[in-house]
Amino acid sequence: MKYTTEQIEAVRSKMKDLPPIEKKKQELGKSDVVKMLAKEIAVLRKRGYTFEQISEYLKGEGLDIGTPSLKSYLQRAKQASATKPKAQASKDTPPAPPQAPKMPNSPQTSKTADTPKGSFSPRPDSDDI
């Protein structure tokens, strides 16, 4: 099925007018629930609770999360939180662009150095082979 630009623009306009969903009413998946409760679960683990006991407690509270899923989601939450500070640090300080080594007897122009990676810029002719 093909769509017209007019149809897409009408949908775009209507989407802009949609109200935001209140966070308290957003539906969360099991992994999101475990991510939100990760600190509390860690405290329970330090107090001696097993994953099975925590899973049973959550089931009693209406959160049907099995023990294997609980372990898996906690592991993912730990990995995500471990990589998060590194990602933020790299955003604050951008990495320096790699410098190409200068070859002796090769003409380098500023145009070549300013050319973004993956693009092509022709060099002037030379007698060197």
pLDDT of residue 73: 92
pLDDT of residue 67: 94
Q: Where are the domains of the chain?
A: 29-81
Q: Write phi, then psi, for 10 (nearest 5 degrees).
A: -65, -40
Region for residue 100 given its phi and psi (left: phi exceeds 0; alpha: psi -120 to 50; beta: otherwise): beta
Q: Which residues of the chain have pLDDT under 50?
A: 87, 90, 109-110
Residue 31 burial (CB < 10 Å; 0-12/13-18/19+)?
middle
**Residue 42 near residue 78 (C-beta atoms within 8 A):** no
pLDDT of residue 77: 86
Tens-place pLDDT, residues 3-26? 899 999 999 999 999 988 877 777
